[in-house]
Homo-oligomer: A and B are copies of this chain.
């Protein structure tokens, strides 16, 4: 038994399946935890069990939290007619960190993918269409990744929303803040040039 005990090996194997980790990094993390097994490790296990127990998806937007309706959907001040469509909860959190958007969200839970058999129903696009009428949405902002999958999904949603008579917008494309032209891909430079604005 190379790695301590069956229990330790099982823990390493479980950790190695987490995104961004592999056997080597999982082993390193588990060893570091075992060194702090009465403090940090026990606390982390308890915290993880607590979050597994208490966290749930907002039944309206798909955000993750502890309530059946998340604080954003529950806040009447955020019913300003703007609905921001994101692929994942991580994207919602990134936008919230920016503090620039004061409307509500709709989490798709992924992007359209023929390969992975993810179609419009899997992404809850019919649910998105029904929310627009129910919540008096006037603008849908498609905040999807600037990748082929993200933009395919954006186009599909824009078409699906045509009957809804709602303004559909997308994030601006251009040079990121702090970006150096020399290091940017050609596509970004072309997009930034086409969308140039008067100063």
User: A residues engaging B (CB < 8 A)?
Assistant: 1-5, 7-8, 10-11, 14-15, 17-21, 25, 27-34, 37-38, 40-55, 63-66, 71, 88-90, 93, 96-97
Contact = CB atoms under 8 A, between A and B. Distances in A.
B19 A32 contact: yes
Lowest 5 CB-CB distances: which A-B pairs, in order?
A: A45-B48, A45-B49, A41-B52, A2-B96, A37-B52
Given A2-B97, A33-B48, A48-B48, 9 more contacts: A4-B93, A11-B47, A11-B50, A14-B44, A18-B32, A21-B29, A31-B88, A34-B64, A42-B49
Identical chains bound together, number: 2
Contact of A44 (B25, B48, B89): B48
A45 B42 CA distance: 9
Contact of A90 (B31, B44, B47): B31
Given A28-B19, A93-B27, A96-B2, A66 B33 contact: no
